[in-house]
Amino acid sequence: MKNAIVKKEWWAAYGFILPAAITLLLLVTYPLLYGAYISFFNTNLVNKWDFVALNNYVSIFSNIQFVGNIVVTLKYTLFTVIGHFAIGLVLGLILNMKLPGITIFRTILILPWLLPEVVVGLLWKWLFNPMYGLFNDILMRLHVIDSPVSWLGDASYAFIAIVIVCVWKGYPMVMMMVLAGLQSISQDTYEAAKIDGCNRVQSFRYVTLPGLLPVLVVTLILDTVWWFKHFTMIWLLTEGGPGDATNVVSIDIFKQAFQFFDFGKAAAMAVIVFFVCFLIGFLYRRLFGNDND
């Protein structure tokens, strides 16, 4: 009788897990495996399936332009993530204070994350427009510039422009994660630190930062991987131009697949990006993680 009850509970547990497992297999595992599979072919995904083994990978790594795109992607990701953490950490600390009207500010500051990326991209593209954009109008009225600047059409400004937009779009995620981490730290710990003679700076160094570290590591991994493979915002603003100034690797993959119809090479690039993201996460865990989180 007891064994029958245990078996029934096991089957119930598998029944609860099964829908999520099937969803993950169909939406995550299968696309990953299929992408890796077609990376070994020269294919149009319809009637052309020429097996080329590792030729796509050899072609990618022998192409200096792809290496340059990886460098641009790493630089873009670095500046974007630093901006997210600089703004998100400061705002998270402020929002954790007991200030009047703080709930309203929390709602306002999270809005960039809630807005669809297409809306954000088109909005900022209008603001950067050299003919009727708001930024040029304000700067010319203030006599900062004498003539309209093509912010997205000039290689000197385009990269900075997309970083600013992506920092504005993504900082709320870091802000909310930091806020959640701060609220999970027990006030008793701060009281104990105060009794031991710690001032505010020392409490932040020895109580707040260690308490936030697990949250910060997870946020850092998620934020870096997300923006390393980001596509939508850059495509809407510059389409990878001018030249190769903003041609990140996700743009290159899109062009290989849907402009040049070289799906095998595009899949090989995607596999490389997957391993780069995996390596980034692994290095973060080794550098900032510990055995208890």
Q: With H, G, I as helix, E, B as strand and everything else as coil, classify residue 143.
A: coil
Higher-confidence position of 48 and 8? 48
Q: Is 95 helix (H, G, I), strand (E, B) or coil?
A: helix
- Rounded to whole angstroms, the Cα distance separating 108 from 116 reads 15
CA distance 177 to 250: 26
Q: How confident is the model at residue 194 (pLDDT cuts 50, 70, 90)?
A: confident
CATH superfamily of 56-288: MetI-like (1.10.3720.10)
C-alpha radius of gyration, the chain, whole number: 24
At residue 151 the predicted structure's pLDDT band, cuts being 50, 70 and 90, is very high
> What does the pLDDT average to over 274-289?
85
Mean pLDDT of the chain: 89
Tens digits of per-residue pLDDT, 72-81?
A: 999 999 999 9
- pLDDT on residue 291: 47
- Give me the pLDDT at residue 139, please: 92
Residue 260 has pLDDT above 80, yes or no: yes
Q: What is the pLDDT of residues 92-123, one digit of tens each?
A: 999 988 888 888 988 899 999 999 999 999 99
> To the nearest whole percent, how much of the chain has pLDDT over 90?
56
What one-letter code names the amino acid at 111? L
| Annotated domain spans of the chain | 56-288
Across 54-63, average pLDDT: 90
Q: In this predicted structure, what is the pLDDT of residue 99?
A: 84
Backbone angles phi, psi at 29, to 5 degrees: -65, -50
d(CA 54, CA 196): 62
Between 251 and 189, the more confident residue is 251
Is 0.85 surpassed by the pTM of this model? yes
- Identify the pLDDT of residue 89: 93
Instruction: Please give the average per-residue pLDDT across 146-161, as a whole number.
Output: 92
DSSP string, 195-207: HTT--HHHHIIII
What residues does 42 pair with on adjacent strands? 50
Task: Check if the beta carbon of residue 280 is closer than 8 Å to that of residue 221.
Answer: yes
Round to whole Å and give the CA distance between 170 and 193. Answer: 34
**Tens of pLDDT along 196-215?**
788 888 888 888 888 898 89
Cα-Cα-Cα-Cα dihedral sign, residues 110, 111, 112, 115: positive
Q: What is the mean pLDDT of residues 250-264?
A: 92
Quote the crossing angle between the two packed helices 155-183 and 209-228, to the nearest 10°.
140
The H-or-E segment that residue 8 falls in is helix 2-24
261-276 pLDDT, tens digit per residue, is: 899 999 999 999 999 9
Q: Which of 81, 98, 55, 76 is nearest to 220 (CA)?
A: 81
Q: Which of 34-43, 158-167, 184-193, 248-257 has the lowest mean pLDDT?
A: 184-193
Q: Which residues pair with 41 in a beta bridge?
A: 51
Pick the more confident residue, 186 or 254.
Answer: 254
Q: Which residue has the higher pLDDT, 9 or 36?
A: 36
- Tell me the helix, strand and coil percentages in the chain, rounded to 5: 75, 0, 25
